């Protein structure tokens, strides 16, 4: 089905790729999770359009052709066949969502649009860019969303990166922020795709994990492994991340207007 966004607003139209809530064990909770991404975009003047794997192809193509930016959200594991991973810990996969998001990513890259990745979105950006994943990491999943206090851990920002300047603009050393943790797969330094750099690290039993990444050149590409749309467990500084992203999308609209 189509998950409708605001549509027709005055801000930049931003496609938000989400899970199909109708497939979830608790569709109402899944829909609420999806709406949190849309709310984050609206707070900063963007016009979100939520698209899932059940969105009809024509509507999907139209959204990708007219979007000013792309947000890839959290959800199920990517199919390891996309990165020659083989069997190694991947669980519930949604191959039709993988295909839909790969199409959205290609459209955004072809048109030079800003992209923001959150949780699965970080992993998708890395895989779509030619990187790989660690299919299971211990100690970072935490409890189900909405069931008690979330798992949290420090995120060490890499000095000089765009993310560090956004989240910790007065600390030239990059700083450390506390983030929530809802993932069981991860990216390590050796998994990073060419053209991407780590902008944040977190410790794990499996070594240092890349829990934030960004592009080295070209249009804005930013991604975080945590869930900043969940404001109850996220530092207020992450609102600047959404603001910078929406502003970049607004700039992308302006760049396409004839002089």
- Tens of pLDDT, residues 80-106: 999 976 666 667 779 999 999 999 999
Return the axis-axis angle of helices 120-128 and 95-110, rounded to nearest 10°.
60
- 91 belongs to the catalytic site: no
Of 119, 183, 184, 249, the catalytic one is 119
pLDDT value of position 259 = 30
In which residue are the tokens 């790729």 written? 17
Whether 6 is covered by a domain: the verdict is no
Whether 8 is covered by a domain: the verdict is no
Q: Is-contact 113 219, C-beta < 8 A? A: yes
pLDDT value of position 93 = 78
Return the bridge partners of 180, or none: 152
Of 94, 140, 229, 249, the catalytic one is 229
pLDDT value of position 146 = 65
- 229 belongs to the catalytic site: yes
Whether 206 is covered by a domain: the verdict is yes
Whether 7 is covered by a domain: the verdict is no
pLDDT value of position 150 = 81
Residue 71 CA to residue 24 CA, distance in Å, equals 21
Which stretches of the chain score pLDDT less than 50?
Answer: 2-3, 6-7, 256-259
pLDDT value of position 58 = 95
Whether 3 is covered by a domain: the verdict is no
Q: Is-contact 47 11, C-beta < 8 A? A: yes
Task: Please count the CA atoms within 13 angstroms of the CA of 182 that sit on its side-chain side.
Answer: 27
Whether 42 is covered by a domain: the verdict is yes
Of 44, 140, 184, 227, the catalytic one is 227
> In which domain, by residue range, is 205 found?
13-255
pLDDT value of position 148 = 67
Whether 196 is covered by a domain: the verdict is yes
Read off the CATH number of the domain in which 151 is found. Answer: 3.40.50.880
Whether 133 is covered by a domain: the verdict is yes
> Which pTM was predicted?
0.92
Number of domains the chain contains: 1
């Amino acid at each position: 089905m189509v998950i409708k966004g605001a549509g027709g607003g005055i801000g930049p139209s931003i496609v938000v790729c989400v899970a199909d809530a109708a497939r979830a064990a608790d569709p109402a909770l899944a829909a609420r999770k999806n709406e949190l991404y849309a709310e984050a975009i609206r707070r900063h003047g963007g016009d979100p359009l939520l698209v899932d794997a059940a969105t009809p192809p024509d509507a999907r193509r139209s959204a990708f052709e007219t979007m000013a930016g792309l947000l890839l959200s959290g959800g199920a594991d990517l199919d390891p066949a996309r990165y020659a991973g083989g069997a190694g810990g991947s669980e519930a996969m949604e191959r039709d969502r993988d295909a839909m998001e790969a199409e959205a990513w290609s459209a955004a890259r072809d048109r030079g649009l800003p992209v923001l990745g959150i949780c699965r979105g970080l992993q998708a950006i890395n895989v779509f860019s030619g990187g790989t994943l660690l299919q299971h990491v211990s100690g970072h999943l935490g409890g189900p969303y909405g069931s008690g206090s979330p798992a949290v851990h420090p995120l060490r920002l890499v000095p000089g990166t765009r993310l560090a300047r956004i989240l910790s603009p007065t600390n030239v050393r990059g700083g450390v922020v506390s983030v929530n943790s809802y993932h069981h797969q991860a990216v390590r330094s050796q998994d990073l795709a060419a053209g991407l750099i780590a902008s944040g690290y977190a410790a794990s039993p499996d070594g240092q994990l890349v829990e934030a990444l960004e592009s080295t050149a070209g249009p804005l590409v930013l991604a975080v492994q945590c869930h900043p749309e969940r404001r109850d467990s996220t530092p207020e500084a992450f609102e600047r991340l959404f603001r910078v992203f929406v502003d970049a999308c607004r700039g992308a609209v302006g760049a396409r207007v004839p002089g």
